Amino acid sequence: MSLPFNMESWTSRSTVLGSYDDAYISCSVKRDGLPKGWTMYVHPHGWVYFRNEEHKLVVNENIHDPDILAKVEQHCLKSFADLPDGMETCLLGSVQSSFNIYINHNQCIADYHPSAILGSSLPEMSMRSLMRKRRLYWNYMLQHPAHTSISSKPYAEAVDALRSFYLDHLINGPRSVAPFSKAECSELLRVLDTPAFNTSSDSTAATALLAWILTAVYGWRKSDQYGSMTYLKMQTYRDSQSRSSMGSRMARTAPGFVLRLIYNALCFGIPHSYLEDLKKASEFRGRLAALQDTFEAYTGQLTREYSNFILVSTVLLSATMGLLAVPGIGQAGKIFALLSVFTSLGSISVGAFLIWRHQRNLHIPSSHTFAYIHNARSNIMGLPGHALLLGLPPVLLVWSLFGFTVAVIVYTLEPATGAASIDVASAWIVFGIFVVILICVVAGLYTFSVIWKWETRNGVGRAIASLFRGRVQQAERESV
């Protein structure tokens, strides 16, 4: 049933205390077209709900329907005892299968049992019970912000909570467990720290925003055992939770023996980095919006990497085609050059397709992002298999570079078999230069592949260096 629309029946709440504007229709409509004692309120997102002033009852269904109104009066209104000032009840669900939540606006708590909030004293509650009742209250206010105003205390509480989360990010960095990211804390604090927001106690949108923040705050505090442990116990608890979740994630996403063999033998270990990035990008930390932002940043990083790989593969493909055009190149050199051509084409083709698909889905609804993560986790090989596919462009590029290098070496050493002595000498000189360059390249690749990892003292390189230094010192002592 559609709701009656009568401009003259609308009233409003202004941000200026005691002033009203009949043309401003964002809040409520009273009495006209409604049963006696009922008021209709409009949520900032557009839906409506109804409140009975006498019985202090909030209903989410349309009481313009006579059947619904009769059931509300028959099953609900007659059974409610008189509630003291500052308290009300809300009918959740449909009238046929409804249950109530009781609201205490004086203490900002809510519960499904009236005895839990009637005459209750906050100091007598356990911290966990208080967190639960506060979360229920602010979740209720998020859905019903139009019929009541909030005091300055929730505003100060929200600001203080956001500042504490921001401090947690400054201290712990990526290890922070706060429900809001550092950027979200900064943005929300910037929005809250405005004179207009601080004085808009009658603004339904401001009430809904504060309720949304505090719902997340108290939900996180309830799960984080807020206010129930000492510092050392809290650190131990968080470390154990982190290790437990990390261990379960590693067990679910660690590649099997066959995939590890493919990773390390055929793919040069490249998919390992893609697997780590994919696990971080698909990790849920309590906020769906944060997961969406993280995954969009990860997708942008992928497209930039693939663009660079395509550029290098294109240059390498041109160089390989030039090598094939050289007259007199042997059959072995041609084979490796053709291997380089095919792998370069594969790297370009796969990279271009992945760029196209990821760029088209860079800014998409969150449901598509969750579908991507779900499909990547639930395919035959899971995230390790998906990381293997994501690593195809750089892996094929490395194989292309390998084929081109071997083709050049074969072409260089061809004069060493049956040619003049000067040609043989020049071939070995070029090969020696190649070996020196290869050693430098391998040293650089190894150094910058492990430079961001903590190196232990029992590493192979360190052991060899220690052995060499020991032999040198022994020789010096013997010479003396």
Q: 297-334, pLDDT tens digit by residue? A: 889 999 999 999 999 999 999 999 999 998 878 888 89
What value does the mean pLDDT of the chain take?
79
Q: 4-26, pLDDT tens digit by residue? A: 444 445 454 433 444 444 555 54
Highest average pLDDT, of 87-101, 322-336, 360-374, 423-437, comes from 322-336
Q: Tell me, what's the pLDDT at 401?
A: 92
Sheet holding 99-104, edge to edge: 10-11, 28-30, 38-42, 48-52, 57-59, 87-92, 99-104, 109-111
**β 87-92/38-42 pair status:** unpaired
Q: Tell me, what's the pLDDT at 61?
A: 85
- What's the average model confidence in pLDDT over 263-284? 87
pLDDT at 344 over 80: yes
Q: 180-231, pLDDT tens digit by residue? A: 888 889 999 999 887 767 655 568 888 999 999 999 999 888 888 788 788 8
- What's the average model confidence in pLDDT over 34-63? 85
How far is Cα 30 from Cα 22, in angstroms, rounded to an integer?
Answer: 13
Residue 89 φ then ψ, to 5°: -130, 155
Can you give the pTM of this predicted structure? 0.62
How far is Cα 215 from Cα 125, in angstroms, rounded to an integer?
Answer: 19
Give CA separation, 28 vs 169, 241, 368, in Å. Answer: 41, 46, 37
**Residue entry with tokens 């052991």:** 463
Which tokens go with 15? Answer: 């941000």
Q: Tell me, what's the pLDDT at 188?
A: 92
